[in-house]
Chain A
Amino acid sequence: MSLHLQNIDHIVNGVPHISGIDLALEPGSFNVLLGRTLAGKTTLMRLMAGLEPPTRGKIIIDGKDVTNVSVRKRNVSMVYQQFINYPSLTVYDNIASPLKLAKHPKSAIDKRVGEIAEMLHIEHLLNRYPQELSGGQQQRTAMGRALIKDADLILFDEPLVNLDYKLREELRDELRDLFQARNCIAVYATTEPNEALALGGNTAVLHEGKLLQYGPTEQVYREPNGRFSAEMFSEPPINIVPGRLTDTEITFDQSLHFPCDDKLKRLEPGDYDFGVRASHLTLQPQRADDLALDVHVDVAEISGSETFLHVHHERFPLVLHLSGIHQFSVNEPLKVYFPTHQLYAFDKQGHTVHIPARQGGAAHG
């Protein structure tokens, strides 16, 4: 099936939660809704599910207008960020409930529940009650209930956010595999850019109820159409430095000058916001045209094998994403190298006007 949201507005008590969203999801696609808390992800999913009708606009499924069709008559599933299960039913009955309500024969239900439970590694827990399970197991149960019926549309509203990161990693991997074999539209809301990248598929970037960009995940990541999109879709956030472009050079903070590369020269001279990804800033110069900056360390966040180094220059803060483990003390002086050839440029309206060339890339053979 295909799902088309046509010019959706949703206003609650005079406050717009969703404004003017137009989005078409293709059959069999996996879609990520990326945005910060309160960006409108949950609201949008509720509209897609039919839990609420939009204030304005139409929802078209397979060419049919279903805007006012109740959730019970749409074939959807949803997994929430809280672990939502029926506490009075066992795990088996929880998972089986959609099929039981659809009056499937007992033997077929047994078989299906067995398959799903095995897929989610909870086959040994079928006789337990949800509150006796750990968080991860509870969420697996909820997923089982969502997956057991062949829903046309499956919605995941930050399903992993309340789990430990290692479980998150495992479940995320499993999820990707689960959907490869299915022919339904999956929509997955998250606040984490890395989760979007790990899940692949398409990504829609939401900000303050508006759709900023929609496209294949990698493309949205590499070619954000605006400053917000770029900030939203990078973790740590892309560094933005305001600067002035003249015919020959770029000036930051009225004191840092460097010549700009040929591509940037094509832009009109003027004020721009320049973006550079955290992973492109380095502690050693990579190229001759790298700009050396004197900074002080705020904090080095270390995650397993990576370091996110927060530093501040006299006028602007920067974040570096370094591989490997590096420890620094607070306020330690440091020199970082700013890659002048890997700059994004955004005009003052926030639109992308320049995207740096990509260096190679690994593709699946």
Chain B
Amino acid sequence: MNNKIPNNRAWLLVLPMLVLVAFSAIIPLMTVVNYSVQDVLGPNARFFTGTEWFQSMLNDDALQAAFLRQISFSLIILAIQIPLGIGIALIMPKRGWQASAVLILITLPLLIPWNVVGSIWQIFTRGDIGLMGWGLRELGIEYNITRNAGDAWVTIILMDVWHWTPLVAMLCYSGLRSIPEAYYQAARIDRASKWAVFRYIQLPKLTNVLVIAVLLRFMHSFMIYAEPFVLTGGGPGSATTFLSQSLTTMAVGQQDLGPSAAFSLIYFLVILLVSWVFYTTIMNMQKDKPPHGGA
């Protein structure tokens, strides 16, 4: 059915894309690799350093802390966004003008520039002019994201949930729509409860989109930069400083080319590794275990 035809001339179709991506990926990556093993002191003064930068980066306490923060952040938002997204997808209307309206509304946060997302939440949570900050204060709840690290974390997570849950919801929604009606009919005839329908029909059929959702959310949350930068500036202290911000500070702010290059490569590899492990694990789980005993 889906047997593709061997044809090496297909390279011609891929070539323009390859040139562009090479320009925007390979050349910069080579630069990074180049820097990561050198110490650049001036235009003509470079020294080969080997793995020195890598070692110092891996042993850097601040970076280790940022890494832990990053991992915690990604895990927390995944734990919230995936179930919440599924839940929203389940209650979204399936057809009619309502479906279109909900769809347009729900995708809205996805299309707001990331720094504006930060601004929106910065405004929203300020005690003096923001509805949420003001509301919490009126309710007598102590809340200040510039002083209290806990408040800052809660706010950043809330912001990310607000920002990205729609993506999970939309993925699940389109996954749900592709389930043939006969499955629901059969379930009714089998007298399945709503929970059973979810557990045995909807959830299994959502596996593929959920894999995509988890991967996308993991990747993007791991690279998060603009939103917390605008909202908290990484503070208070470094409580909400994530890896991208550390890297940007190091590379652009301090012009530490060698260390930041080494850091970049480690950063990139971590994302690749986690994604790959997650993906292969899921794919292996999906394979049926051989029938035991053979009955």
Q: Tell me whether B5 is interfacial, beta carbon within 8 Å.
A: yes
Q: Tell me whether A235 is interfacial, beta carbon within 8 Å.
A: no
Q: Tell me whether B3 is interfacial, beta carbon within 8 Å.
A: yes
Q: How far is the CB of A320 from chain B (nearest CB, A)?
A: 35
Q: How far is the CB of A56 from chain B (nearest CB, A)?
A: 15
Q: Tell me whether A158 is interfacial, beta carbon within 8 Å.
A: no
Q: Give complex CA distance A12, B5 in Å.
A: 9
Closest to A52 in B: B5
Closest to B3 in A: A12
Chain B residues contacting A12 (CB-CB under 8 Å) are 3
Chain B residues contacting A52 (CB-CB under 8 Å) are 5
Chain B residues contacting A51 (CB-CB under 8 Å) are 5
Contact with B along A9-22 (1 / 0, CB 8 A): 00010000000000
Chain A residues contacting B3 (CB-CB under 8 Å) are 12
Instruction: Please report which residues of chain B, range 132-166, place their CB below 8 angstroms from some CB of chain A when the two chains form the complex.
Output: none
Q: How far is the CB of A149 from chain B (nearest CB, A)?
A: 24
Q: Give complex CA distance A51, B4 in Å.
A: 12
Closest to B7 in A: A52
Contact with B along A45-60 (1 / 0, CB 8 A): 0000001100000000
Q: Give complex CA distance A146, B5 in Å.
A: 23
Closest to B5 in A: A52
Q: How far is the CB of A61 from chain B (nearest CB, A)?
A: 22
Q: Give complex CA distance A51, B5 in Å.
A: 9
Q: Give complex CA distance A51, B7 in Å.
A: 12
Q: Give complex CA distance A51, B3 in Å.
A: 13
Q: How far is the CB of B229 from chain A (nearest CB, A)?
A: 47
Q: How far is the CB of B239 from chain A (nearest CB, A)?
A: 55
Chain A residues contacting B5 (CB-CB under 8 Å) are 51-52
Q: Give complex CA distance A51, B6 in Å.
A: 12
Q: How far is the CB of B10 from chain A (nearest CB, A)?
A: 14
Q: Give complex CA distance A123, B24 in Å.
A: 55
Q: Give complex CA distance A242, B228 in Å.
A: 81
Q: Give complex CA distance A298, B137 in Å.
A: 81
Q: How far is the CB of A231 from chain B (nearest CB, A)?
A: 26
Q: Give complex CA distance A52, B7 in Å.
A: 10
Instruction: Please report which residues of chain B, range 2-26, place their CB below 8 angstroms from some CB of chain A when the two chains form the complex.
Output: 3, 5
Q: Give complex CA distance A12, B3 in Å.
A: 9
Instruction: Please report which residues of chain B, range 27-79, place their CB below 8 angstroms from some CB of chain A when the two chains form the complex.
Output: none
Q: How far is the CB of B51 from chain A (nearest CB, A)?
A: 42
Instruction: Please report which residues of chain B, range 93-126, place their CB below 8 angstroms from some CB of chain A when the two chains form the complex.
Output: none
Q: How far is the CB of B295 from chain A (nearest CB, A)?
A: 25
Closest to A46 in B: B5
Q: Give complex CA distance A52, B4 in Å.
A: 11
Instruction: Please report which residues of chain A, range 1-35, place their CB below 8 angstroms from some CB of chain B when the two chains form the complex.
Output: 12
Q: How far is the CB of A307 from chain B (nearest CB, A)?
A: 33
Closest to A17 in B: B3
Q: Give complex CA distance A241, B118 in Å.
A: 81
Q: Give complex CA distance A52, B3 in Å.
A: 12
Instruction: Please report which residues of chain A, range 44-82, place their CB below 8 angstroms from some CB of chain B when the two chains form the complex.
Output: 51-52
Closest to A43 in B: B3
Q: How far is the CB of B275 from chain A (nearest CB, A)?
A: 29
Q: Give complex CA distance A229, B5 in Å.
A: 31
Q: Give complex CA distance A173, B102 in Å.
A: 53
Q: How far is the CB of A348 from chain B (nearest CB, A)?
A: 32
Q: Give complex CA distance A205, B3 in Å.
A: 24
Closest to B6 in A: A12
Instruction: Please report which residues of chain A, range 296-331, place their CB below 8 angstroms from some CB of chain B when the two chains form the complex.
Output: none
Q: How far is the CB of B6 from chain A (nearest CB, A)?
A: 8
Q: Give complex CA distance A131, B191 in Å.
A: 36
Q: How far is the CB of B292 from chain A (nearest CB, A)?
A: 31
Closest to A51 in B: B5
Q: How far is the CB of B3 from chain A (nearest CB, A)?
A: 7
Q: Give complex CA distance A52, B5 in Å.
A: 8
Q: Give complex CA distance A251, B75 in Å.
A: 75
Closest 3 pairs (CB-CB, A-B): A52-B5, A12-B3, A51-B5
3 A-B contact pairs sorted by A residue (CB < 8 Å)? A12-B3, A51-B5, A52-B5
Residues of A at the B interface (CB closer than 8 Å) are: 12, 51-52
